[in-house]
Structure 1
Amino acid sequence: MTTIIRNVRLLDLDRQEGMTSTCDISITGGRIAGIGECLAIPEGAKLIEGNGNLLMPGLVNGHFHSAVNHMKGRLPSLPLEVFMLYECPELDVLRPTPREAYLRTMLGCIEMLRCGTTSVQDDCFFVPRPEPEIIDAVAQAYVDSGMRARLALDQPEVSELEKLPYLRELLPDDLRRELGRPSPTSRDDLLGLYDHLLSRWHGAAGGRIKAAASCSAPQRVSPEYFAALDQLSRDHDLPFYAHMLETKLQRVFGRECLNGRSLVRHTADLGLLTERMNVIHAIWVDDADLDLLAESGASVAHNPVSNLRLGSGVMRWRAMQDRGIPICLGVDEAIADDAVNMWSVMKTAALIHCITETDYERWPNPREILRAATTGGGHAMREPMLGQISVGAPADLNLIDLGTIAYVPLNDLPRQLVHCESGTSVLLTMVAGEVVRDGNGLTRIDEGTLLAEAREIFERKIGHMNEADRTVARYLPYYRKMYDLACEQDVEMERRVPHALVEGNRAPTPWPVGRSAGRPYQ
């Protein structure tokens, strides 16, 4: 079936005004088939009136963890290592049913599609361990929603003590034994689950759903499993997700546990830093790391809101742009952003780097930000032409109402898209040529019924989550000490605003003590 979108202006970041004059666009077989003035409307074609509004590529959420979509707002801002202690402990009490996994994934799909995010890279983790029926539930939600998705199994393979510095020495014997146990899912089991993901879901829904590979982070897996995943990525041309140097503590890990090498250098020395890799966060990198990334062709997934929420620091945007390192933008996860909205991610990315450079000509410009959220995401996903509006590109598109207050008056389109838009001006969203969201809401699902079911089910899970909090609270004093030790180290760089700039000579506020529910603080 052919669809004609008539009388629209196309986003064109190479033009001074940021868009074309009005034209028509034809879509066939899920891809853009033609662009021009007054295109003929074939018999039986679907006609969409653009009314002179803007047609732009769908946004690409370049990094996401769907497993905690139901936990938005649950945790306070905490350093990553403490945050993860409460976010994803490998406890049976948190095991989801397939329906729960489906609903929590669908919560993210609904929020993304409402705001014009059409594609997502889901680096999905599974608590307490991945299982075929849970993988199936996550993938089925993406199929049903109409989104385009890459799905990976983000699962550590080694024990907690092997992932972190200092902890082995800090823990008492009983807790050291607990955290010294290997992951509940072995390397062979994990590779078998990847076989399941690939055989059942890779290329599903007309190619909208595809697999990806993930080691979670280099220090969370053995070199053997890391290499096996790389081979899987190579054999099937999959993006490969790896969190690297998100925090200062991870920089310290390299010095303490990798003979002084950074995680980027460690990965390169293993021969596993390639153009297929998405290096996630990459905050505490030095020039040598950036040179390695540029040489490899790897993409960097930038998650500025999450980086602020967890106090991780500010990524080196301009240094990466100067080296030609591809950048995509991501939400990271609902629990570390509290929204799944790429417009807020774009605005934050456009602003946060302005405090890291005195030369204002080197601050991010909106066109760079928009490219990162569209073509940058498509490049990271290894989806040719995704994020473009050109003949042959996937028809993943947003129709933006230029009559809303965000664009009245229209002074500079790219700036207003990045700084003024929140997603409320999206009139219509299309994925692979199908309208998946229009003025009446999402077209493929009963949004109200799903939200009501999710509300009821996840309210019943609060007791289980509180029980998990109480269980892991036993580790909190030792994780805090580990964090403090890492903060004290001189790593010859700073990616956070120094205390002196914001607190003068005042001592930092003491760490609050957890309350009865086992939470780090309320």
Structure 2
Amino acid sequence: MTRPQPPAQDPAVLFTDVLVYDADAPTGVTGPTDVLITGQRITAVGPGLAAGAPEGTRTVPGHGHHLLAPGLVNAHFHSPANHLKGMLPSRPLEVFMLYESPADEALRPSPREAYLRTMLAALEMLRGGTTSVQDDAFVMPAPEPDVIDAIMSAYADAGIRATVALDQPELPEAEKLPFLADIAGGDPELGELIRRPAPMGRADLLDRYAHLFGTWHGAAGGRLRGAVSVSAPQRVGTLYFTALADLAEQYDVPVFAHMLETKVQRVLADEQPRFAGRSLVRYTADLGLLRERTNVIHAVWVDGDDLDLIAAAGATVVHNPVSNLRLGSGIMPFREIRRRGIPIGLGVDEAICNDAVDMWSVVRAAGLVHNVSGLDSDLWPSAAEVLDCLWAGGARAMGLAGELGAVAPGRLADLVLVDLHAPAFTPLNDVRGQLVYCESGGSVVLTMVDGRVVAEGGRVTSVDEAALLAEARELFAARRPALRAAHTAADRFRPAYEEVVRRAAGRDVGMNRWAGGRA
């Protein structure tokens, strides 16, 4: 596939008489003022900019009550499950994954299917003001070049900023989970399943990464980038992990790694000889692979030693509170992470364990779920801290600190315009508090990415939204029988995976991250 070209640049845009979100201002807001966008970047912020605006500049009036804020950053996401929202009941992650991502040949996506399911999320994000996404795309059974191209093409066409990795396991199931080999001892069919090699080995996966970076990294004027993903340290061998970390260094991109999302993963330290009693964070650090570019995703069942290692590495934690609630994974130790100065980004995770690709619901959950931690209320997250995670933390996770996350001259023009006369802000009491606890995306007037308006007036303007949604409804309706068959087949193995969760739940790991009092 030839390297895609950036879309034609919109004329300069001048936002007039707008309030501007300013993290350093006492109220979080400055203005009214003007903001000038030329090309991909914010050129100037200040009053009276109309006189110096280029000829042909589009003017967007703010009427003194529209807030111009940085675009929302979805720092962790999996696009391949976008068509499965609301499909599964809440179950622990290890059971949930049986149904979420079976390596079933009957479910192999066509390129058009991969394009449409990616586009579903892009449309939802842009409508609500999310301008950047980190997609940890697992493509089952395996990531073929035409499907990689389809995912990236959807992001290119929609106009969103996307950093995309290939989240593929390299090891058999028996090496990823504790107790499973023992449980499968009397079940030959399960034993064969959990020892079956992963669909694609290291050499072929690295070849797919060569395609991703060679074709797409830096495409669409730099709006699209590659990243690398180990999925999780227990799901890959050290050679593949090292190769990916080196690739990240070569291209200066993030490394995605799910770590200690569940108690099962904490127990793994003592059940797999290769970990020798070390947590997944310690194991990764001992390999020299916990680095500044690492996104430590979830970090729920971490202890103080883990957090000290993350802080020393300069890595970023990505918090997925809605997903953690949906799957019963536990509550991340937010205050302990913030105390160590570790950057925190926020993520949706995926549409099948969030059931919306909606960053506003994530923001609200991040502002609420830690209030049941039992800490003094002065230690609960403030609205300002949550917004810092959304914007500064999200930019840091993407490796774009200093480029995204603020409305300031020289920053990339990824912006959202919010009407403060909408119900969520009427009456206007506290902008930060109402952004975190009240806004649902309904107040979003306009979304801009890279200096280009891509959503306005409640619809995405970069593509034919209605036609794409109609096509997706038809295609995925035809897919349902194959999905139902795969889920019925998974029922056969569910008791074994539930037993893994039960055994782990009974272990004393020196901490509790559940609100219900389970040890």
TM-score range, shorter chain: over 0.9
TM-score (norm 1): 0.95
Give the structure 2 partner of residue 173 of structure 1. Answer: 188
Partner of 1:159: 172
How much has 1:385 moved relative to structure 2? 2.1
Cα distance, 1:175 vs structure 2? 1.9
Match of 1:148 among 146, 161, 164: 161
Q: Contact 1:375–1:385 (CA<8 Å) still a contact in 2?
A: no
The whole-number CA distance in structure 1 between the counterparts of 2:147 and 2:410 is: 35
Shift of 1:439: 1.1
Residue 113 of structure 2 aligns to which amino acid in structure 1? Answer: E
Answer yes or no: is the 8 Å Cα contact 2:37–2:43 preserved in 1: yes
1:75-121 CA-to-partner distances (Å, cap 9, x unmatched) read 00000000001100111011011110000000000110111000000
Structure 1 residue 47 displacement after superposition: 1.5
Residue-by-residue CA offset, 1:384-407 (whole Å, 9 max, x unaligned): 421111111000001110111111
SS in 2 for 1:260: coil
| Separation in structure 2 between the aligned mates of residue 498 and residue 428 of structure 1, nearest angstrom | 41
Residue deviations 1:206-264 (CA, integer Å, cap 9, x gap): 01100000000000000010000000000000100000000000000012111110000
193-202 or 382-391, which deviates more: 382-391
* Other-structure match for 2:26: 16
- Give the aligned partner of residue 74 of structure 1: 87
CA distance in 1, matches of 2:128, 2:381: 23
CA distance in 2, matches of 1:255, 1:117: 40
**Aligned partners of 2:170 and 2:458: how far apart in 1?**
45
The alpha-carbon deviation at position 178 of structure 1 amounts to: 2.3
Contact 1:385–1:394 (Cα < 8 Å) also in 2: yes
Question: Offset of 1:499 from its aligned partner?
Answer: 4.4
Amino acid at match of 1:28: T
1:25 aligns with 2:42: no
Alignment of 1:321-470 (within 5 A): 321-383=338-400, 384-439=402-457, 441-470=459-488
* Deviation of the 1:174 alpha carbon: 3.0
The CA distance in 1 between the partners of 2:248 and 2:27, in whole Å, is 40
Q: Aligned partners of 1:404 and 1:278: how far apart in 2?
A: 35
Q: Which residue, 243, 251, 254 being the options, matches 2:258?
A: 243
Measure the CA separation in 2 of the matches of 1:33 and 1:357.
Answer: 46
Alignment partner, residue 508 of structure 1: none
Note the residue ranges of structure 2 that are not aligned, 5 or more in a row: 1-10
Aligned-pair identity in percent equals 54
SS at match of 2:68: strand
> Matched residue of 1:60: which SS?
strand
From 291, 314, 337, the equivalent of 1:297 is 314
Separation of aligned partners in 2, 1:93 and 1:471 = 12
Match of 2:207 among 182, 192, 195: 192
Alpha-carbon distance in 1 for matches of 2:465, 2:127: 11
Distance 2:381 2:190 in 1: 46
Please state how far the C-alpha of 1:498 moved relative to its aligned partner: 3.2
- CA drift at 1:361: 0.7
Q: Deviations over 1:439-481 (max 9, x none)?
A: 1611111111111110011011010001111222221111111
* 1:164-186: CA deviation from partner (whole Å, max 9, x where unpaired): 11111111223212220111111
Contact 2:17-2:31 within 8 A present in 1 as well: no
Q: 1:36 aligns with which of 32, 37, 46?
A: 46
Greater shift in the superposed pair: 358-367 or 57-66:
358-367
More displaced 10-residue stretch of structure 1: 148-157 or 3-12: 3-12
Alignment CA distance shift 1:499-1:324 (3 Å)? closer
Distance 1:211 1:403 in 2: 39
SS at match of 2:225: strand
Q: Deviations 1:47-68 (Å, cap 9, x if unpaired)? A: 1112111100000001000000
Moved over 3 A (4+): 498-501
2:138 maps to what in 1?
125
C-alpha separation in 2, matches of 1:283 and 1:500? 15
Counterpart in the other structure of 1:487: 505
Q: Secondary structure at the match of 2:455?
A: strand
Out of 293-302 and 383-392, give the one that drifted further.
383-392
Structure 1 position 148, deviation (Å): 0.1
Q: Which residue of 1 aligns with 2:326?
A: 309
Deviation at 1:419, TM superposition (A): 0.6
Cα separation, 2, equivalents of 1:184 and 1:88: 12
TM-superposed CA distance for 1:500, in Å, is 7.3
Contact kept? 2:512, 2:518, Cα under 8 Å: no
Deviates more, 1:57-66 or 1:475-484: 475-484
Shift of 1:409: 1.1
Q: What residue is the counterpart of 1:3 in the other structure?
A: 13
Give the Cα separation in 1 of the matches to 2:485 and 2:67. Answer: 49
* Residue in structure 2 matching 1:473, options 469, 491, 498: 491
1:2, CA displacement in angstroms? 2.2
Tell me whether 1:45 sits opposite 2:57 in the alignment.
yes
Q: Distance in 2 between matches of 1:423 and 1:439?
A: 12
| Residues 283-336 of structure 1, C-alpha deviations (whole Å, 9 max, x = no match) | 000000000000001100100000000000000000000000000000000000
Match in the other structure for 1:504:
none
Check conservation: 2:106, 2:482, Cα contact below 8 A.
yes
Name 2:4's counterpart in structure 1. none
> Which residue in 1 is equivalent to 2:6?
none
Tell me the residue number matched to 2:8: none
Give the distance between the partners of 1:386 and 1:227, measured in 2 at CA: 29
Q: Confirm or deny that 1:264 pairs with 2:276.
A: no
CA distance in 1, matches of 2:423, 2:117: 33
Q: Tell me the SS of whatever aligns to 1:471.
A: helix
More off after superposition, 414-423 vs 491-500? 491-500
CA distance in 2, matches of 1:196, 1:21: 46
Structure 1's unaligned 5+ residue stretches are 502-522
Distance 2:59 2:430 in 1: 29
Q: Relative to structure 1, is the Cα distance of residues 440 and 326 closer, same or farther in structure 2, using a 3 angstrom cutoff?
A: closer
**Contact 1:357-1:363 at 8 Å conserved across structures:** no
- The alignment's C-alpha RMSD in Å is 1.1
Equivalent in the alignment of 2:245? 230
Q: Helix, strand or coil: the match of 1:461?
A: helix
User: TM-score, normalized by length of structure 2?
Assistant: 0.95
| Distance in 2 separating the partners of 1:385 and 1:131 | 32
Distance 2:337 2:435 in 1: 23
